[in-house]
Chains A and B, each alone.
Chain A
Amino acid sequence: MNEVHDDLDAPAPGSISFGLWKRIIGTALEDRRSAVQLVGGGIGIAAIESARPLLNAAMIDEAIAHGMGERFMWLAGAWAVLALCFGAGVFLFIRAAGRISAGLAFTLRERAFARLQELQFGYFDRRPTGWLVSRVTSDCGKVSGIAPWVILDTFWATTIVSGSAACMLWLDWHVAVWMILLLPVLAALAVLFQSRLLKSSRLVRRTNSRITAFLSEGIAGVRTTKSLAREGAADAELAVLTTEMEVHSMRNSFQSAVFVPVVTSASFLGVAIALWRGGLRVETGEMSPGTLVALMQYALLFTWPIIDVSQRVVDLLSAQAAAERVQSLIDTVPTIHDSDAVRAQADDFNAARITRITFENVSFEYVAGEPVLSDFSLEARVGDTIAFVGPTGAGKSTVVNLAARFYEPTAGRILLDGVDMRERPLAWHQGRFGVVQQSPWLRNTSILENIRYGRLDATDEEVKAAAAAVGADSFVDGLEGGWGFVAGEAGERLSLGQRQLIALARAFLKDPDVFILDEATSSVDSETERTIQRAVDRVLAHRISFVIAHRLSTIRRATRIVMVDGGRIVESGTHAELMRARGKYHDLYAQQFVEMRERAVLDVHG
């Protein structure tokens, strides 16, 4: 859906962006061997197609003049050989086109994916996951799907048009000139149709995606629609869309249904011209009947190159938006990256640890002029567990994202053991962090492999030990296949509590210097709750821990609670200190306490 919308929201490109396509076609042609086969095959079959009427003419004239002699058999043999060569050419160019398109898709995807691994988080914030996935998958597919055919048809059509024209002129230029005059008429017809088709098909796709969205909403909200008893109103709303759809697709399918037959009919006019002008010359004996037949066949040979080339132009126009998106993703330079000086000494840091993180008057804004963090200062040392509390949007996540250098401060600085973090290698820095998210991200592999992601060279025993340390092993035996149980897409085959335990085991196995925990807002059953709490305690100890806290027990045990509101620290201290102060923290705590207990009593999850 997303991808469709992107295409449709952008205005239709008016002209082909040659610079862009030159780069993409250049990438496609990196596979030299296939490129040669593609172009060679295309030119080859075009040459054969242009020569075939000529050979037909020779056979006809030979048969009429001398009967079915040896010479005729030679010509027929040559014809058969050409037919086989034609087959070989077709075989070759389709194979090559497949290799070029698959190879181009492969390369574009590699580059786009690699770039995504380097880009700063700000890039991901403004782009939904589905949108980015479409860039790597369908956009690359669309661009690479048309590239070989654009290359092929350029050569094929040029050869066939110029080859046929040359043959016709050679056969009889008096007649040929008249027929070649038809070429611009055919081209104009094709352009006329294609530009209309391009427009109407965009309208069809746009309306279609609106219908899909409407139906999708209708299914998702069917209970609400029923409870409001507005099924009939929904019918009427859909009818507006379907009527619009009927109008657009009526136009579109009409245009596409008549395009080829109309161009074909127009090229029949060429046959008429050939018969009229050529007939006169046959009559006077200036032309053989075979030549006349050949000229009439050439009249039809112009049709497909014209249709195909106009089709490629439309392909280029309709894939241009996709090509631009892919190319601009590949060309995007990450804003957070190592300076040259840092890169030179990157290896010195492999073993270094982070023991102290200092925020010095840090400010940050995602959007210029809308600060989410202002003049924020904080120091955390090994052994500290800092719990961030406060309302949604207060800036809690921003603090931890800055600590992990997912973003860089817009003012102020963050020091790692006294050194500005921008003077340290990014990969090293981020590699020292462990993260457990609200709804933990798991890979669609076994439990064992999911935990091993924390340290790739860990043995099965080490993985299982890590799981045991956080109590994640308790439920594994109950799963089908035990450690081999596959978590499903985004871990959907596991419960939220189980996912959190696996994520904790994964972080524990990694043994990071700095640990970031974003606690889930929705609760799990009390048994799991206790297991998770023990696991969290285990993981938080002996390192710097930042917790976006929701669990009261976690908050209570933090060495320091930082209450953030409006991008500033409004209260800070231990639980006891803050409770005594009876400020904002006190109220928030009381509210959460009641909420949690109520849910616990009624065992409400979610």
Chain B
Amino acid sequence: MTDIPKRQPSFALGRLGDLWIVLGTDRPLYAGAIAVQALAATFSYVVPLVPQAVIDGVFSAPGTRMGAMSAWIIEKLGGAEVVRADLWKPGVVIAVAAVAAGLLNVLRGWMTARAAQRSVRRLRERVHARLVRLPVPFFDANESGDLLQRATSDVDTVQNVLANQIAEMGRAILLLLIAIPLMFAIDWRMAIASTVLAIPVVAFAGLYFRTVSDRFRTKDEAEGRLTAKAQENIAGIRVVRAFGRQSFEREEFRERNAAHRDADVRLFDGLSQFWALSDVTCLAQILVVLVVGLTLVSGGSLGAGEFFFFLFATNMYIWPIRHLGRMLADLGKAAVATERLHAIMDPAAEDAGDEVRHEVRGEAAGGASRSASDNVPAHAVLPAGGIRFEGVRFAYPRGNTVLDGVDLTVGAGETVAIMGPSGCGKSTLAALLLRFHEPTSGRITIGGTDIRSLNRSLLRSRIASVLQPPFLYSRSIRENVAIVRPELPVAAIAEAADSAAIHDSVLRFQRGWETVIGERGITLSGGQRQRLAIARALVRDADILLLDDALSAVDGDTERRILNAMRARRGRVPTIVIAHRLSTLAEADRIVVMEHGRVIDHGTHAELIARDGLYKRLWAIQAELEDEERVAVASDGEAPR
């Protein structure tokens, strides 16, 4: 909703060509369905054509006018005498035509459904494939609710139009289009009389739906306000009770409820005018056929059977075509929906990452068109060695500078902790290392190789990372931990979970490893989520370990257990730990202090507590606690107020 406003359905159908693109390889099937539809409509008209012939050729007084078509039909049925004797014959012809029309409609329905649903399946898959490969800045710039709506309800709209609307429209239009030549072949005067109001009916319906769509919108808005009130009230029910505001709330709700009711009534008033007027117009069309037709019949220039045909045919096409207005409005919606899908489909996907052509031990990524998730060979590894940030700057587009020239080295096997106040840019370092963003200038190397020359998937799959906030998928705990290595035996998963100090908590759940996160009210605490995310990172056989504030919600003892276990498990891979807790920081080989996008200090624990600065102030907290305890114990009786 950010960049493309949600538009009302309009008649701007320019984007409808996209529907043709969506159909892809199913175009012949879909076009074939329309052809079958035409055939079915033709058979439908056999139904009134046969009685026409019978009435004019068999029942009427000899010498009555009989059209060429009727004469042909009577002849095919064996002549007037035969038909007169065997009246079941024309009945059978009608029955056969009716059944044929029915069967053709079934065939058409199957063809349309197959073409539409296959295309929509491909569309869904393409939208998803594109969505997960869009670069991270895209997700920073767009609201997730809006993206979700585009990926779901806009696709549903396309599906509905392809599967139902176009078929319905096709039926209405074909019924009219096939009737017109037939009618002109029988009698041009009656043909004109039978269609004179058809165009006004369609035009009126189209115009009218534009007006009524305003009322639809008003009603939707009123409903939105009503929902917002209910939501607000229920979410705040405790406060409502504590303030005794039940009647106030009911009054406010009633106002919006009444506004919604009134908007609904107005909408129906509009609809009642539309349907009443369009019904009267359709009936007027039938009356025209009756009066003109019977005038001609009594004048002897039109057969009674021919008149019957016009009356019957008019009844067949006039009612469906008045839906055309609404269908056109729906097509407008589809045009808007495909336009909205372009917001996902048009931006460039993340490339595989070979902007800087670089020989990486024969691992050079393919063409720029290769997407980030192209399979990485299982044996692929990152260049060995440490990580270097060299003069790295980063600013968001049209935003503040976040990193202002960071130089930082993490030696092979070294654990570096990064600390600093909120907004100092420490998490951005993690995002840059994972290539979620690209530095504005400067570069990041691993073992001397610029990471821009590394395949993104390779890079990310070789970095075991825990991001903040930790994200878990709504599937079982086992599947979450083993998500990158589903083949892993439970024993290996349990081992990783044990290192992350989550194993015991998992076993306490009723369904243990098979507990599904988010299902039936199963929620995990922040600490549990963090520990599962760590376990997930640990099952991965990685070259670099990256923890972004990954232990903030676990208590001190657990934290120490995890840090020790990780060290023991992983051997010594370069490790970056972003943290704000002294107990975490002190475990690192080296501590880097950041402020305002720069590294302002670094050194070992011993070095940093020897000089003034943020780190020393953290260290001083322990002493403050001891003071605090002394004061508390010394003070007597009542606490100061």
B240 on interface, CB distance cutoff 8 Å: yes
Say which residue of B91, B109, B473 sits within 8 Å of A217 (CB atoms): B473
Contact B88 A593 (CB under 8 A): no
Q: Which A-chain residue is minimally distant from B540 (CB atoms)?
A: A228
Contact A231 B133 (CB under 8 A): yes
Q: Which 9 A-B pairs have the closest CB atoms?
A: A98-B268, A265-B102, A231-B373, A276-B91, A268-B98, A94-B272, A431-B244, A257-B109, A441-B236
A246-258 CB contact bits vs B (8 Å, 1 = yes)?
Answer: 1001110111111
Contact A113 B132 (CB under 8 A): no
Contact A272 B92 (CB under 8 A): yes
Q: How far is the CA of A348 from the CA of B276 in the complex (A)?
A: 60
Please indicate the chain B residues that have their CB under 8 angstroms from the CB of A129 in the complex. Answer: 231, 234-235
Contact B242 A434 (CB under 8 A): yes
With A229-B373, A441-B235, A594-B621: A435-B242 Cβ-Cβ less than 8 Å: yes
Contact A227 B580 (CB under 8 A): no
Within 8 A of B (CB), among A423-475: 427, 430-431, 433-435, 437, 441, 443-444, 453-454, 456
Contact A91 B273 (CB under 8 A): yes
Please indicate the chain A residues that have their CB under 8 angstroms from the CB of B342 in the complex. Answer: none
Q: How far is the CA of A113 from the CA of B230 in the complex (A)?
A: 8
A117 on interface, CB distance cutoff 8 Å: yes
Interchain residue pairs with CB less than 8 A apart (8) = A86-B283, A91-B273, A91-B275, A242-B121, A404-B241, A435-B238, A437-B239, A604-B580
B525 on interface, CB distance cutoff 8 Å: yes
Please indicate the chain B residues that have their CB under 8 angstroms from the CB of A93 in the complex. Answer: 272
A286 on interface, CB distance cutoff 8 Å: no
B488 on interface, CB distance cutoff 8 Å: no
Q: How far is the CA of A441 from the CA of B124 in the complex (A)?
A: 39
Say which residue of A227, A406, A454 sits within 8 Å of B238 (CB atoms): A406
Contact B276 A574 (CB under 8 A): no
Q: How far is the CA of A550 from the CA of B317 in the complex (A)?
A: 74
Number of A interface residues at 8 Å Cβ cutoff, please give it.
154
Please indicate the chain B residues that have their CB under 8 angstroms from the CB of A26 in the complex. Answer: none
Among B243, B614, B624, B632, the one with the most A-chain Cβ atoms within 10 Å of its Cβ is B243
Please indicate the chain B residues that have their CB under 8 angstroms from the CB of A116 in the complex. Answer: 233-234, 237
Say which residue of B117, B253, B272, B436 sits within 8 Å of A253 (CB atoms): B117
Q: How far is the CA of A272 from the CA of B246 in the complex (A)?
A: 66
B625 on interface, CB distance cutoff 8 Å: yes
Contact A246 B121 (CB under 8 A): yes
Q: How far is the CA of A125 from the CA of B223 in the complex (A)?
A: 26
Closest Cβ of chain B: how far from A277's Cβ, in Å?
8
The main secondary structure of chain B at its interface with chain A is helix
Within 8 A of A (CB), among B461-518: 461, 463, 465, 467, 471, 473-474, 483-484
Please indicate the chain B residues that have their CB under 8 angstroms from the CB of A300 in the complex. Answer: 315
Contact A226 B372 (CB under 8 A): yes
Say which residue of A213, A443, A537 sits within 8 Å of B236 (CB atoms): A443
B21 on interface, CB distance cutoff 8 Å: no
B61-85 CB contact bits vs A (8 Å, 1 = yes)?
Answer: 0000000000000000000000010
Within 8 A of B (CB), among A208-259: 208, 211-213, 215-232, 234-235, 238-239, 242-243, 245-246, 249-251, 253-258
Contact A105 B243 (CB under 8 A): no
B617 on interface, CB distance cutoff 8 Å: yes
Q: How far is the CA of A402 from the CA of B75 in the complex (A)?
A: 93
Contact A234 B132 (CB under 8 A): yes
Please indicate the chain A residues that have their CB under 8 angstroms from the CB of B373 in the complex. Answer: 229-232, 235
Please indicate the chain A residues that have their CB under 8 angstroms from the CB of B581 in the complex. Answer: 595, 598
Contact B484 A230 (CB under 8 A): yes
With A59-B294, A602-B421: A64-B236 Cβ-Cβ less than 8 Å: no
B139 on interface, CB distance cutoff 8 Å: yes
Say which residue of B110, B271, B275, B618 sits within 8 Å of A598 (CB atoms): B618
A110 on interface, CB distance cutoff 8 Å: yes
A543 on interface, CB distance cutoff 8 Å: no
Stretch at the interface among A72-80, A316-324, A352-360, A563-571: A72-80
A271 on interface, CB distance cutoff 8 Å: yes
B198 on interface, CB distance cutoff 8 Å: no
Within 8 A of A (CB), among B185-231: 223, 226-228, 230-231
With A72-B294, A90-B275, A129-B235: A95-B128 Cβ-Cβ less than 8 Å: no
Stretch at the interface among A14-22, A164-172, A288-296: A288-296
Contact B641 A113 (CB under 8 A): no
Please indicate the chain B residues that have their CB under 8 angstroms from the CB of A174 in the complex. Answer: none
Q: How far is the CA of A453 from the CA of B243 in the complex (A)?
A: 8
Contact A392 B525 (CB under 8 A): yes
Q: How far is the CA of A365 from the CA of B227 in the complex (A)?
A: 33
Please indicate the chain B residues that have their CB under 8 angstroms from the CB of A83 in the complex. Answer: 280, 283-284, 287
Q: How far is the CA of A59 from the CA of B311 in the complex (A)?
A: 12
Stretch at the interface among A132-140, A411-419, A527-535: A132-140
Q: Which A-chain residue is minimally distant from B376 (CB atoms)?
A: A229
Within 8 A of A (CB), among B103-121: 105-106, 108-110, 112-114, 116-118, 120-121
Please indicate the chain B residues that have their CB under 8 angstroms from the CB of A158 in the complex. Answer: none
Closest Cβ of chain A: how far from B434's Cβ, in Å?
6
Say which residue of B87, B311, B525 sits within 8 Å of A283 (CB atoms): B87
Please indicate the chain A residues that have their CB under 8 angstroms from the CB of B450 in the complex. Answer: none
Q: How far is the CA of A586 from the CA of B458 in the complex (A)?
A: 49
Closest Cβ of chain A: how far from B625's Cβ, in Å?
5
B439-460 CB contact bits vs A (8 Å, 1 = yes)?
Answer: 0000000000000000011101
Contact A444 B233 (CB under 8 A): no
Closest Cβ of chain B: how far from A102's Cβ, in Å?
4
Please indicate the chain B residues that have their CB under 8 angstroms from the CB of A268 in the complex. Answer: 44, 47, 94-95, 97-98, 101
Q: How far is the CA of A289 from the CA of B52 in the complex (A)?
A: 11
Say which residue of A87, A272, A593 sits within 8 Å of B98 (CB atoms): A272
Say which residue of B55, B59, B260, B297 sits within 8 Å of A63 (CB atoms): B297
B144 on interface, CB distance cutoff 8 Å: yes
Q: How far is the CA of A231 from the CA of B132 in the complex (A)?
A: 6
Contact A280 B148 (CB under 8 A): no
Please indicate the chain A residues that have their CB under 8 angstroms from the CB of B265 in the complex. Answer: 98-99, 102
With A232-B375, A254-B109: A84-B434 Cβ-Cβ less than 8 Å: no
Please indicate the chain A residues that have their CB under 8 angstroms from the CB of B91 in the complex. Answer: 272-273, 275-276, 279
Within 8 A of A (CB), among B241-275: 241-246, 248-250, 253-254, 257-258, 260-262, 264-265, 267-269, 271-273, 275
Contact B152 A261 (CB under 8 A): no
Say which residue of A216, A262, A537 sits within 8 Å of B148 (CB atoms): A216
B149-169 CB contact bits vs A (8 Å, 1 = yes)?
Answer: 001100010010001100100
B147 on interface, CB distance cutoff 8 Å: yes
A177 on interface, CB distance cutoff 8 Å: no
Please indicate the chain B residues that have their CB under 8 angstroms from the CB of A98 in the complex. Answer: 264-265, 267-269, 271-272
Please indicate the chain B residues that have their CB under 8 angstroms from the CB of A279 in the complex. Answer: 54, 58-59, 87, 90-91
Within 8 A of B (CB), among A466-509: 489-490, 506
Q: How far is the CA of A164 from the CA of B224 in the complex (A)?
A: 45
With A98-B267, A257-B108, A579-B633: A557-B98 Cβ-Cβ less than 8 Å: no
Contact A558 B639 (CB under 8 A): yes
B298 on interface, CB distance cutoff 8 Å: yes
Q: How far is the CA of A217 from the CA of B474 in the complex (A)?
A: 8
B346 on interface, CB distance cutoff 8 Å: no
B601 on interface, CB distance cutoff 8 Å: no
Among A63, A255, A392, the one with the most B-chain Cβ atoms within 10 Å of its Cβ is A63
B394 on interface, CB distance cutoff 8 Å: no
Contact A430 B637 (CB under 8 A): no
Contact B244 A430 (CB under 8 A): yes
Closest Cβ of chain A: how far from B2's Cβ, in Å?
14
With A276-B91, A605-B422: A94-B268 Cβ-Cβ less than 8 Å: yes
Please indicate the chain A residues that have their CB under 8 angstroms from the CB of B332 in the complex. Answer: none
A556 on interface, CB distance cutoff 8 Å: yes
Please indicate the chain A residues that have their CB under 8 angstroms from the CB of B574 in the complex. Answer: none
Closest Cβ of chain A: how far from B83's Cβ, in Å?
9
Q: How far is the CA of A557 from the CA of B639 in the complex (A)?
A: 5
B384 on interface, CB distance cutoff 8 Å: no
Contact A574 B105 (CB under 8 A): no
